[in-house]
Chain A
Amino acid sequence: MGKDKNYFLNEKPEKMTYGGVFRKINDWARARSLWVVAYGTGCGSIELRPTFTSRFDAERLGMRMVGTPRQADVLIISGYLTVKTLKRVIRVYEQMQSPKYVVALGACPINGGMYYDSYNAINRLDLYLPVDVWITGCMPRPEAILAGFKRLQELIDSGKADGWKKYIENLDWYRENQRKIIKNWRMPNYNW
């Protein structure tokens, strides 16, 4: 790393506890202000454009797109995920600040979908990243996406969207799975 040492943390992040006095207010605010990182992995990202613009208007749920993972709360895996993209997705996910949530769109992240026998699309996303909400369909329409986000809001409100905690607790297990398919790991180990 050398010169880059300012930009990455090289120790494992400590386990973050979730609670405190303001827990209820925090959950309430987090559920109503979901910022989505503007990053599309597959064909599903085409459905996010109408979701976030005038036709379906996700902004009335308090959501908006931001152009940097540092400020975002939600990562949408939109459609099939190739090994090459998975590398980038892991980086984006780890650069996001806790608490963070993952929403998987479409059939491909669930079981491979129509790319189940493809040599470069992964079959199950939750071996590599913790997923909070699955939205089925190929592709899900914007209505389904909005319903999924409504579900995510309910989960956050009741404190059940804890994928980010699971990820830190079982980091070694996730790393093992990730390294199994990413042969050449040209990334820092803990780049929070």
Chain B
Amino acid sequence: MMWAKIFYAFLALLGGIAYGLFLGGVSRKITARMQNRRGPTIWQNFIDLWKLFRKKTAISHGVMFYLAPMFRLVGGAGTFLLVPIVVGSPYLSNFSFGGDLIVLMYFMVLGCLGMALGAAESGHPHAPIGVTRGLSQMAGYELPFVISVVVLMVADKTTSIEGIVRAQQGGILHWHLFTHPFAAAAAFISLLGMMGSYPFQVVLAPQEIAIGPPTEYSSTFLSYMFSGRSVFAVAKYLLFMNLFLGGASNLLWAFVKTFVIFLWPLFITNVFPRFRLEQSVLFFWTWPSLLGLIDLVRIYLVR
């Protein structure tokens, strides 16, 4: 039974990477159409990944430099494996267990930390700057996210994702998106920061620090980071689906719901300019956090 579970989780992981790459291609296509040009094919990210994977590399910067892309991949894959895709299904619930939500919040930081260590060893001055900015940004968006997750935990009296999904069953109006709208708003705003996309793109920041942390990474390293980032994005969409959109009863619903969540940062990205770091952190600590606090107070009063 255990081995079967591992096997299905592995299949789900491969599917998650492919789905993440596909979503990346869709986002490039939609961005291109919004800018009135044709854009690359939807499969462009697969081609990029294969090219990067087969490119040669001749850079040596020490052990941590080699390990960081693996950290990134493990961080993404681990997050993905902790989130159930279809709750209750024997094949697609991955490795969810009671209390996994707390473990998950720690696990989401792992990739960033590995990246920080590796980038610091790469020796390029832009890398530590990017890492510092990324960690500061994380301190910003974690606050509203944690507040809204605590709201859900208190409301449902559970710390497992499965429990939260079960509490939302019985119609669209039982979704946490509608029962706790302020907490949902806070979490979805912090999703923008987690994705690191445009209004909050302070880590890669092409206008200021070129590429940021992965400046020295090339070829195969970059392909690991690339797939890690893709699967991490999918994991976040799945997590938000489970927390706020009532989970999924089958694979098709999972696709539809994650696709809708994926469109939200994409459309924000394409129409907004970029915040500076301090503006971004200040934004996260004020408006989304206040929204989250409203629901937290409301829950205590209602009880």
Contacts and interface: CB of A to CB of B under 8 A. Distances in A.
Contacts of B215: 67-68, 70
Which range holds the interface residue count of chain B?
35 or more
A118 interface: no
A9 B60 contact: yes
B123 A22 contact: no
A170 interface: no
Nearest to B124: A68
B303 interface: no
State the main secondary structure of chain A at its contact with B: loop
A17 B57 CA distance: 13
Which among B41, B50, B60, B217 has the highest number of chain A CB atoms within 10 Å?
A: B50
A6 B62 contact: yes
Nearest to B220: A97
Contacts of B28: 59
B185 to A, nearest CB: 33
Interface of B: 28, 32, 35-41, 44, 47-48, 50-52, 54-62, 123, 206, 210-211, 214-219, 222
State the main secondary structure of chain B at its contact with A: loop
7 contacts: A26-B54, A61-B40, A68-B216, A70-B218, A97-B219, A98-B55, A98-B56
Contacts of B58: 9, 13, 97-98, 192
Given A6-B62, A57-B32, A67-B210, A33 B51 contact: yes
Nearest to A69: B218
Contact of A66 (B44, B211, B216): B211
Contacts of B216: 68, 70
